[in-house]
Structure 1
Amino acid sequence: MTITAAADGSALGNPGPAGWAWYIDENTWRAGGWPHGTNNQGELMAVLDLLRSTAHRSEEPLKILCDSQYVINCLTKWMPGWKRKGWRKADGKPVLNVDLLKDLDAALKGRNVGFEWVKGHAGHPLNEAADDRARAVATAYQRGGRSIPSGPGFPGERPADANGQDAEDSVGQVPAGGTAQAQAAPSRTDRAPQTDHARQADRAPQSRQTSQGAAQTPQASSGTRTVDEAEPDLFSVLEEDLRGSVTEQDPVATVTALEKRLLEPAVRSDLGEVARILHPDFEEIGSSGRTWSRDEMLLALADEDHEPVDMTPLSAACVNESTILLQYRTRSAGKAVLRSSLWVLAPGAPNGGSTAAQGTWRLRFHQGTAE
């Protein structure tokens, strides 16, 4: 029987307070996180913990639903080449998040694992449930690390991982480089890898990919922490920085901040973050004249080395209460480009407690013209 689960990660600020979660049903899920981490680290850790938690049922196929093409590409496309090169990319630079990737490489051996990409924040019940829990952990760490909601785990899983680490520590384990400043954080503070970058290529999106390997079964890491019933409901908080309430903040300031966020190398290399910002019907006319769909843009960003970009806002106009036209200039690698972006206020995601009046600002159309 195939085990089907969603895995997701969240980081407030990226990097910042971070959470991860995998979800099968209300009685079978787990979440964890760190005081400081990235979205990519959360996405990878969610998959790693799911693999460890189901290791005692390794003979059964495992189907992982994931809204991060970064994770899927890492585990099904790029990792074999990185291993051959001594965990270095084609340009000779070291692979980032390498500690998590090495653990994932070991955990995948002997497993029949299929990955399926799902659109984030599009109402998929398993993806939404995993996202809720990952974001709840990140929010809990942001509030001081109290009452981390970790979940019941997987029935029959082993109480410790292959390193013999106590279950409670493994749930909140800080990724290398994370800082254990929060009250409930464990003492491990190894050096952390950063978000990885890829190179540019044009190819069609794939919705499902599979990774299999030789027999080796890692032991499971597990554990639970009880939620303080006096704490507020962490699953009802709004999504960080991506939901702009027109009643609580200036919508022009909101979309300008989101536009700047899209230009940050760490965000552009994180497809989960970009997918949350781009409208499902996003289109772009690039400075070369090429048109891009949302899926084509996500795939291009996944394979691109991202350079710092300077942004100079030029103008912003509220076309109506749910549409804003933003114009600005960017400079990167000695080139200047005039850009126009059309932002629309989409209805709030059904799981976040958002109303249609609050909604989520998303980028619907973008055009760049080289100066």
Structure 2
Amino acid sequence: MFFKTKKVVIYTDGACKGNPGDGGWGAVLLYKGKEKEIFGGQRDTTNNQMELRAAIEALSQLKYKCQVELYTDSSYVKNGIESWLDNWIKNNWKTSAKKPVKNQALWQSLHVLCQKHEVQWRWVKGHSNHPLNDRADALANKGVEMLKNGKVNAGE
């Protein structure tokens, strides 16, 4: 039986108050006119870690193989996944300077999820009044606020 691959659009963002500090991640997932918002927070983290976490958490929501158009305002995430990852893997998780890749466990998680889906990575300029990117940013900041209120679990 033939199953049509589902097409999903995702906007992700991460936030951090201090770097390292309290951080949050957020994502907006769009499928067939429906929207889902997810967010969460983490203590003692970095902005780059939260940007990665946003993409990981969003892709983890997908139950079946999907064609994904994933928007991020993080050049770190987009360049990492599109330009650096293959060499990191080939070099046993070392950079071109022979140093360990930062955030290796997060990159490995993201890589595994990307193998399950057809992901097209798109960069969008942050804080440029793009409605869906602004929503992902607001969700990431909601994740940070959640920590201030003493909650530690992700919110939906």
What whole-Å deviation, never above 9, does each CA across 1:270-321 have from its counterpart, x for those lacking one? xxxxxxxxxxxxxxxxxxxxxxxxxxxxxxxxxxxxxxxxxxxxxxxxxxxx
**TM-score scaled by length of structure 1:** 0.38
Task: Tell whether 2:16 aligns with 1:11.
Answer: yes
Query: Quick one: which amino acid aligns to residue 44 of structure 2?
Result: H
Q: Choose 1 or 2 for highest CA Rg.
A: 1
Task: Tell whether 2:50 aligns with 1:45.
Answer: no
Higher helix share: 2
Aligned residues: 148
Report the equivalent of 1:31: 39
What whole-Å deviation, never above 9, does each CA across 1:15-55 have from its counterpart, x for those lacking one? 1110001113685121112122111000101111111111x
Distance 2:154 2:54 in 1: 14
Task: Tell whether 2:77 aligns with 1:71.
Answer: yes
CA RMSD of aligned residues (A): 1.7
Distance 1:70 1:17 in 2: 19
Report the equivalent of 1:131: 137
Structure 2 runs not aligned, ≥5 long: 1-5
Aligned counterpart for 1:118 among listed residues 115, 124, 127 = 124
Following TM superposition, the consecutive aligned residue runs of length 4 or more in structure 1 with deviations greater than 6 angstroms are: none
Aligned counterpart for 1:57 among listed residues 64, 71, 84 = 64
**TM-score scaled by length of structure 2:** 0.88
Q: Percent identity?
A: 31
Query: Quick one: which amino acid aligns to residue 133 of structure 2?
Result: N
Q: Is the 8 A contact 1:19 1:134 kept in 2?
A: yes
Q: CA deviation at 1:123?
A: 1.1
1:93 match: secondary structure: coil
Distance 2:75 2:25 in 1: 16
Higher strand share: 2
What whole-Å deviation, never above 9, does each CA across 1:113-132 have from its counterpart, x for those lacking one? 01111011111111100100
Q: Is the 8 A contact 1:35 1:145 kept in 2?
A: no
What whole-Å deviation, never above 9, does each CA across 1:192-246 have from its counterpart, x for those lacking one? xxxxxxxxxxxxxxxxxxxxxxxxxxxxxxxxxxxxxxxxxxxxxxxxxxxxxxx
Report the equivalent of 1:238: none
**Structure with more contact order per residue of length (Cα contacts < 8 Å, sep ≥ 6):** 2
Query: Quick one: which amino acid aligns to residue 64 of structure 2?
Result: R
Distance 1:93 1:131 in 2: 31
Distance 1:149 1:111 in 2: 23
Report the equivalent of 1:103: 109
